[in-house]
Structure 1
Amino acid sequence: MTKKVGFFNLSLRRVLADGLSILDGARLRMLYYGLALAFFTLFVILADVLYQHHVILSITTGVMFVSAAVLFKFLTYRPRWTLISHLILIVGTIANVVDIFVAIQNVDVVTAEVIILIMLFSFYMLGQKPGLIYSLLNIVPALALMLLQYSNNYVIPLKPEKVDQNTSIVAMFACFVLIAIIISHFYNAFIKTFTELKETSEKQNGLTSEFEDAMRKAQKSSEAKSEFLSTMSHEIRTPLNAVIGMSNLLITGNPRPDQRENLEVLKFSAGNLLSIVNDVLDFNKIESGKLIFENIKFNMVELMQNICGGQTLTAHAKGLAFKLDVDSGLNRKVLFGDPTRITQIVFNLISNAIKFTAEGSVSVRATCIEDRHNQVTVNFAVKDTGIGIDQSRLDLIFEPFTQESISTTRQYGGTGLGLAIVKRLLELQGIKIKVNSTPGTGSEFTFNMIFPVSTEIYEPAPKQQQLAEDNDNLSAVRILIAEDNPVNVMLMKKLLSKWGITPTIAENGERAVELVQYGNFDIILMDLQMPVMNGFDAAKEIRKMRDHQKSGIPIIALTASALFDIRERVHDSGMNDYVSKPFKPNELFEKIQMLMKFPTSSFKFSDTPVVP
């Protein structure tokens, strides 16, 4: 857009806007200098034709002279170059046609130059379509006159007006100069435009290169963050493993009532710390986009009972009524899905409900709202009679590290990651969670999930016997533990001693490989991060042994790592399974039992089944 100036302005500089394009600037300059030159040229020609008493030429030249003066003033006052260009071409076309058919009644050199000038001007100023129209409006009359003269059919009662040589020379010179002005200005504009495009392209290439560098740095930063979180996870989980493990061992040792109370507090606090660490790691895993959902078989009733088992005790400890209601239509169905993530979602919702409910009840429902034989839609609902949430802050509670209010954070604590994790896990599956809440009355969180259904019929597995009753089953098991942390070694020895097992200890991966080479073991518990040789490399070396009995020894990885691909790395290194630290004794016991039952099999993580 051009600037607005005073009426008496005659300067071109004042009408050129700062943000004007190169091509538009060239158009304005060409109009300015072209109209100025046309004004003086037409003044000379007008004086000459008036002197020669050429009436028609005087009229057409006078009209163009006045038009040039008016349009020049208009240009320096309101530089609307499109309108001015049209007006110039209209006046010039009319004058040219009148001169051809009435005044000179001929197509001479000057007329040809004027037509060429109009063609160039119209194309450069207005573009292809207007340029073509104005060109034809000038070319067609000239050709028509030439054809009529050739056939001797053009006769009018007016005598042609002949201009002298001086007028022709002035007109020809002015046309050449105007053509040169048009070409020079637009040539310069095109060169500048091409140069600018080249510079822009080079800058774009530079920005692209910088962007790629920034992406590489961001990727490295993300990898460094993941490695850092993995290291911190290992460093935090390792002592937590000892704290929780020792607490469990001491509690089972018949302590005095006051000692039991202290141990329960210690265990509870360690569990809270572990929960916070897990929340941060899980949220980072989700935000990184590296979370992969499993698609394995499970039974909904069994899963919900397992989720709510511990939560029921927590609710009752607060004096809350706890109710679990699972649709009976799901009792015998085997579903495909990710039970780990379902557990994480429902567990977080229940934990929140219990945390923010001082009195009343918490109820959990899993209702089959649609059954299509090969798939079911289950509605999950967690309802409480707690403090409730203000409607204006419902969206805020799902933001990471945020709770409903500062007072809520101070009173109830927590990281504010629970609901953020729930929302992200559901969104990654294309599911939206709904909240119905009234302050002071309570809240209800609901969402629907679709599960493919297996053709199998679910049969509940017989309950595992207590560990104390199974000591005889494991007393003869030869276990090798590869662990460099002395506290964890002591913990494992104490734990296995309760099962009647005396393990062999290897302080690093290299020592573990040597002991397997020269000894006989039934199962190996392998820590992953060890000096000299880590657990992954040690497992690979064991799998390469020529003795098939040794190379086929079941290996369970014990890891406190939080790397996203830990399961794949464990599997790729040849290990059979893994247990995360801090681990539950029952979980480790069951996995040892399973692998000892099938000592020569290559146990793998559940493969994804074909969805029916």
Structure 2
Amino acid sequence: MREELGFFNFSINKVLSKEQSFLDQARIRLLYYGLFLVFVTSGTLLASVYFQGQLLLAYTSGFLMFSVAVLFKMLTYRPNWRVVSHVLLIIGTLINVSIVYISLQNVNIVTIQVVIIVIVFGYYMLGQKWGLIYSLLNTVPILLFLVMEYYSNYVICIKPNKIDQATMVISLFANFILLIFIHSHFYNAFIKNFRQLKTSIKEQAALNLKLEKAIDKAEKSTHAKSEFLSTMSHEIRTPLNAVIGMSNLLMMGSPKPEQKENLEILKFSANNLLAIVNDVLDFDKIESGKLVFENVRFNLVELMNNICGGHILKAHEKGLQFELTIDDSLKNKVFFGDPTRITQVVFNLVSNAVKFTSQGSVWVKVTCLEDRHNKVTVKFLIKDTGIGIKEANMSSIFEPFTQESLATTREYEGTGLGLAIVKRLLELQGLCIKVTSTIAEGSEFSFNMELPVSTAVITENITKQVEETQENYLTSLKVLVAEDNMVNVMLMKKLLSKWKIIPTIAENGERAVEFMQYGNFDIILMDLQMPVMNGFDAANEIRKMADPKKANVPIIALTASAMIDIKDKIHEAGMNGYVSKPFRPNELFERIRSLIALT
């Protein structure tokens, strides 16, 4: 930044600044030294013509000398090189025309030199447009004068001045020096500018190379992160599959009331851990823009009861009142949407409400705002009497890995991803979340969602009928289970035995292919990560079999992986679909039933 200049400043170093381009600095230097040279020359000419009695030329030289001094002070006090250049060129043009038409009434080598200086100076200082304008302003009057002189039409009443040989020499000498200085100065400036440009190009090439390496490193880091998340997902979900699966099996076995309560707590804790894992993995998918929303049938009432079931127990443990209210008009409807993402949003909001409320109540309300027969606008509202949120922190709570304060993080724990995921999931569907909160009184989160509705009606009889169907529908099926984890093998045996199925177990992909070669199966449940041969390769080998029946057998991938492109890889391997571990028994049953119905 240039320092403030005083009136008595004469230093060019204070006029120049680092913010100016190299070319602009060269222009300022040219003005600074050029004005000094013109001042000295005009002073010398003034003395020469004055003592010769050539008053018109003396007045002209004096005016030029005074104007140059003023412009020099403008440049060193309030520097604006463009304005100074324009004023100097206008003065030069006027003086040149006045010398030709009044003082000398003649065109000689000096006037030609001045025209050339004005043309060169105009182009170098102000660019092509103004250079052309000042060139025409100087050349046209000179040419016009030559035409009038040629036809002897130019006559005025003022007697022209005559300049002697000494004055002519001084003028020519000064003009030559000025022309040489202008060309030399700008030639040097352009050479330096080209060198600087060449250096900048080399530096830019080096930066581009570094940038390419950084991008490559970032891409490798992203790939490594995805691989790490996939591996960690598999390692965490695999034991969770056993915990949640066994809990579901025990719940299906009509446990005693106290046992059922224990199982509910166990199941809630496992689902809570699964929700944390899903938060981290799904946030990665959201940030990468590869999250895909499903559009499947679901029962909203059943979904809300499942979401709030575990939270009710947690709330009661803390001595809180928990109230779930669902509009009666929503109870007998079949909705289409993504129940998994709705679960994530509501689960996180309810979990926060219970977590940050030490006394009082938590309300979850699901109301019908508008029913248009085939579409219903549903309002989800979660309210609590918890610690509340400061107005200043309203926006930051939706940032990833952020809680309202460090004290909040230490006291209540958590990943800080819940509300960030809630906001992003809603935004991806074109929805927004509303928040109202008062410190020490509580908070209220709400959002509206439009859901398509089926004309089918849910009844208890239909639900019971589905449960009874599960007991008999799969009895005659021959199922091949490819699974290497012994705990999951035991879980699958117990679960399938509930449906009166005795499965064949293959401990790896290679064994699964061998079983298919020598036996017949109606469906294959294929784990993806197995020793010897993984599930993808095994599915490819099965699809290549000569027997069309064996080659087209339905294959369901059972995967604990969370890779973003897992669906694409499963499809490329020729599998018919997948069920994520941990899975609900009904989810697996429905997937098997739908595939068997197609064969």
Normalised to the residue count of structure 2, the TM-score between the two structures is 0.87
Deviations 1:425-483 (A, max 9, x none): 011222210012234443321112234x46x5123271156979955554543322211
1:108-153 alpha-carbon deviations (Å, 9 max, x no partner): 2211221222222233223445444544443344334334333333
3-state DSSP of counterpart to 1:200 = helix
Q: How far apart, in 2, do the equivalents of 1:321 and 1:510 lie?
A: 52
1:175 to partner: Cα distance: 1.6
Distance 1:189 1:413 in 2: 64
Q: After alignment, is 213-222 or 384-393 more displaced?
A: 384-393
AA in 2 matched with 1:555: I
* Contact 1:100–1:142 (CA under 8 A) maintained in structure 2: yes
Structure-2 residue corresponding to 1:517: 517
- Mapping of residues 482-497 of structure 1, within 5 Å: 482-497=482-497
Going from structure 1 to structure 2, the CA distance change for 1:553 and 1:144 (only over 3 Å counts) comes to closer
**Cα deviations by residue, 1:179-205 (Å, 9 ceiling, x for unpaired):** 222222223333333443444344444
- Contact 1:474–1:500, Cα closer than 8 Å, also in 2: yes
Q: Corresponding residue for 2:566?
A: 566
Find the counterpart in structure 2 of residue 480 from structure 1. Answer: 480
Task: Tell whether the 8 Å contact from 2:265 to 2:310 is kept in structure 1 after alignment.
Answer: no
**SS of alignment partner, residue 550 of structure 2:** helix
3-state SS of paired residue (1:416): coil
The one-letter code of the counterpart of 1:325 is: I
* Separation of aligned partners in 2, 1:516 and 1:289: 39
Counterpart of 1:324 in structure 2 is 325
Q: In the TM superposition, what whole-angstrom CA distance separates every residue of 1:283-326 from its partner, at most 9, and x where no partner exists? A: 22222221112234556556545545665666567563423223
Instruction: Write the letter of the residue equivalent to 1:237.
Output: R
Counterpart of 2:102 in 1: which secondary structure?
Answer: helix
User: Partner residue of 1:414?
Assistant: 414
Aligned to 2:99: 99
Q: Using the alignment, how far apart are the partners of 2:14 and 2:315 within structure 1?
A: 80
The CA distance in 2 between the partners of 1:132 and 1:255, in whole Å, is 98
The match for 1:460 is: 458
The alignment status of 1:48 with 2:62, answered yes or no, reads no
| Aligned equivalent of 1:295 | 295
Partner of 1:115: 115
Deviates more, 1:182-191 or 1:538-547: 182-191
* 1:449 counterpart = 2:440: no
Give the Cα–Cα distance (whole angstroms) in 2 for the partners of residues 354 and 8 of structure 1: 74
Q: Distance in 2 between matches of 1:410 and 1:70?
A: 71
Q: Could you tell me which residue of structure 2 aligns to residue 20 of structure 1? A: 20
Question: Displacement, 1:18?
Answer: 3.8
Alpha-carbon distance in 1 for matches of 2:472, 2:540: 32
Per-residue deviation, residues 520-548 of structure 1 (Å, max 9, x unmatched): 22322211100111111112221222223
**What is the alpha-carbon distance in structure 1 between the residues aligned to residue 9 and residue 417 of structure 2?**
67
Structure 2 CA distance, aligned partners of 1:334 and 1:262? 32
Find the residue that maps to 2:463 and give its secondary structure. coil
Partners in 2 of 1:79 and 1:287 — Cα distance?
51
Question: 1:585 offset after TM fit, Å?
Answer: 3.1
Structure 2 CA distance, aligned partners of 1:243 and 1:357?
Answer: 29
Letter in 2 for 1:491: L
Q: Is residue 2:553 matched to residue 1:553? A: yes
- 1:500-539 mapped onto 2 (5 Å cutoff): 500-539=500-539
Q: Which runs of 5+ in 2 are unaligned?
A: none
Alignment-mate amino acid for residue 324 of structure 1: T
- Are the structure 2 counterparts of residues 406 and 465 from structure 1 closer, same or farther at C-alpha, using a change threshold of 3 Å? farther
Residues 192 and 489 (structure 1), Cα distance of their counterparts in 2 relative to 1, 3 Å cut: same
Give distance in 1, aligned partners of 2:586 and 2:297.
21
CA contact (8 A) 2:297 2:336 kept: yes
Task: Work out whether residues 316 and 322 of structure 1, in 8 Å CA contact, stay in contact via their aligned partners in 2.
Answer: no
Equivalent residue number for residue 229 of structure 1: 229
- The one-letter code of the counterpart of 1:459 is V
Query: For residues 8-53 of structure 1, what are the alpha-carbon distances to aligned partners after superposition, in whole Å with 9 as ceiling and x for unaligned?
Result: 6655455433443222222222223323333343344333323432
1:449 & 1:184 partners in 2: Cα distance?
A: 74
Quick one: structure 1 residues 565 and 156, their matched pair in 2 at CA, closer, same or farther if it must change by over 3 Å?
A: closer
Q: Distance in 2 between matches of 1:494 and 1:226?
A: 33
Separation in structure 2 between the aligned mates of residue 247 and residue 342 of structure 1, nearest angstrom:
23
- The residue that corresponds to 2:423 in the other structure is 423
Matched residue of 2:481: which SS?
A: strand
Shift of 1:488: 2.1
Structure 1 pair 315–592 and aligned structure 2 pair: CA distance change class (3 A)? farther
In structure 2, the residue matched to 1:158 is: 158
Q: What code does the residue aligned with 1:579 have?
A: V
Distance 1:392 1:22 in 2: 47
Q: 1:370 Cα shift?
A: 4.1
Q: Does the C-alpha gap of structure 1 residues 356 and 162 become closer, same or farther in structure 2, counting only changes over 3 Å?
A: closer
Whether the 8 Å CA contact 2:320–2:362 is kept in 1: the answer is: no
**Equivalence map 1:261-276=2 (5 Å):** 266-276=266-276
1:438 is aligned to 438
Instruction: Give the length in aligned residue pairs.
Output: 596
* 1:398 maps onto 2:391 in alignment: no
- Distance (Å, rounded) in 1 between the aligned partners of 2:422 and 2:551: 42
State how far apart, in whole Å, the 2-side matches of 1:506 and 1:174 are.
Answer: 102
> 3-state DSSP class of the match of 1:415?
coil
**Partner Cα separation in structure 1 for residue 422 and residue 100 of structure 2:** 85
Tell me the residue number matched to 1:605. none
Q: Secondary structure of the equivalent of 1:532?
A: coil
Aligned to 2:192: 192
Show the counterpart of 1:607. none
Contact 1:297 1:336 survives alignment (8 Å) = yes
* Distance change in 2, residues 1:284/1:257 (3 Å): same
**Aligned-pair distance for 1:511?**
0.8
Closer, same or farther in 2 for the Cα pair 1:523/1:20, shift >3 Å?
Answer: closer
Q: Does 1:38 align with 2:38?
A: yes
Q: Is the 8 A contact 1:331 1:458 kept in 2?
A: no
Report which stretch shifted further, 24-33 or 473-482. 473-482
Q: 1:106 to 1:593 in 2, by over 3 A?
A: closer
Contact 1:4 1:78 survives alignment (8 Å): no
The one-letter code sitting in structure 1 at the alignment partner of 2:327 is: V
- Provide the rounded CA distance (Å) in 2 between the counterparts of 1:71 and 1:560: 80
Question: Residue type of the partner of 1:552?
Answer: N
Partner of 2:364: 364
Deviation at 1:56, TM superposition (A): 1.7
1:583 CA displacement: 2.5
Distance of aligned partners of 1:526 and 1:100 in 2 relative to their CA distance in 1, 3 Å threshold = same
Give the structure 2 partner of residue 583 of structure 1. 583
> Per-residue deviation at 1:414?
3.3
Describe how 1:133-172 pairs up with structure 2 within 5 A: 133-172=133-172
Q: Deviations over 1:379-437 (max 9, x none)?
A: 32223344443433333332333334455545544333322211110112222100122
Instruction: Specify the code of the residue in structure 2 equivalent to 1:186.
Output: F
- 1:608 aligned residue: none
Taking every aligned residue pair, what percent have the same amino acid on both sides?
A: 61
Q: Per the alignment, do residues 443 and 125 of structure 1 end up closer, same or farther by CA in structure 2, a change over 3 Å counting?
A: same
Cα deviation digits, residues 219-257 of structure 1 (max 9, x gap): 221121111011011111212223344455567778899
Q: In 2, Cα distance between the equivalents of 1:123 and 1:363?
A: 78
User: Is the 1:308–1:324 contact (alpha carbons within 8 Å) kept by the matching residues of 2?
Assistant: no
How has the CA–CA distance of structure 1 residues 65 and 485 changed in structure 2, closer, same or farther, with 3 Å as cutoff? same
Distance 1:390 1:245 in 2: 42
RMSD between superposed Cα atoms in Å: 3.5
2: CA distance between counterparts of 1:201 and 1:375? 60
Aligned to 1:609: none
The more displaced of 239-248 and 167-176 is 239-248
Distance 1:7 1:114 in 2: 31
SS at match of 2:115: helix
Q: Is the contact between residue 268 and residue 310 of structure 2 (CA under 8 Å) also seen in structure 1?
A: no
Q: Is the 8 A contact 1:4 1:77 kept in 2?
A: no
Instruction: State the TM-score, normalizing by the size of structure 1.
Output: 0.85
Report the alpha carbon displacement of residue 515 of structure 1 after superposing the two structures with TM: 0.7
Q: 3-state SS of the aligned residue for 1:463?
A: helix
Name the SS of the counterpart of 2:378 in structure 1: strand
Q: State the match for 1:286 in structure 2.
A: 286
